[in-house]
Amino acid sequence: MTAKTKGAESNGRRYTIIETDIGPLISESRVSVFDVMDAHDAGDSQYEIGLTFNLSPMQVETALVYIAQHRIELEPQLARIRQQMTEREAFYRRQAAEADAYVATLPMTSQRAALRVLRERSDSGYKVAVDADSPQ
């Protein structure tokens, strides 16, 4: 992975943006600028972004300054990342559905029957307040 630091000489701050093969990352973290950009565009405050990604206020500010300076270049990249994430999620959901369908065709063993009972007991005591997959 090649890396090139941007921002250290221009703003003189402790934190910088590191250009890598996987995209721009915030120094001293594993957080991508795209994560901050996505959260900021969704309306999260700087404080919320810091809490969500375990970033200091200076790291968040450094990322937001970088985003403001490079938004034209970052937006198409973020759109591609979102598309890849959507495709990847669909792929894994299909795989899970295929695995579930295969398991349903298998004969019921005593171990599977015991596991089903345990899952039903566990599920009956678990209440979901908000389903992340359903629109609100």
Q: How far is CA 80 from the centre of its chain?
A: 14
> How many structural domains does the chain have?
1
Q: Which two tokens stand for residue 1?
A: 């992975």
Question: Residue 127: is its pLDDT beyond 80?
Answer: no
Average pLDDT over residues 1-14: 53
Query: Concatenated DSSP letters for 47-96?
Result: HHHHHHHT--HHHHHHHHHHHHHHHHHHHHHHHHHHHHHHHHHHHHHHHH
Band the pLDDT of 123: cuts 50, 70, 90: confident
Q: What is the pLDDT of residue 131?
A: 62
Band the pLDDT of 129: cuts 50, 70, 90: low
Residue 131, in any domain of the structure: no
Residue 46, in any domain of the structure: yes
Residue 134, in any domain of the structure: no
Residue 136, in any domain of the structure: no
Domain housing 77: 3-124
Between 37-41, 60-64, 66-70, 121-125, the lowest mean confidence (pLDDT) is in 121-125
Task: Dihedral sign for Cα 85, 89, 95, 98, please.
Answer: negative
Task: Give kind and range of the element (H or E) at residue 117.
Answer: helix 110-124
Residue 130, in any domain of the structure: no
Residue 38, in any domain of the structure: yes
Question: Residue 95: is its pLDDT beyond 90?
Answer: yes
Which segments within the chain are labelled E, that is strand?
3-6, 17-20, 23-26
Give the CA distances from residue 24 to residues 42, 46, 76, 120, in Å, rounded to whole numbers and listed in that order: 19, 18, 14, 45
Residue 21, in any domain of the structure: yes
Band the pLDDT of 73: cuts 50, 70, 90: very high
pTM: 0.65
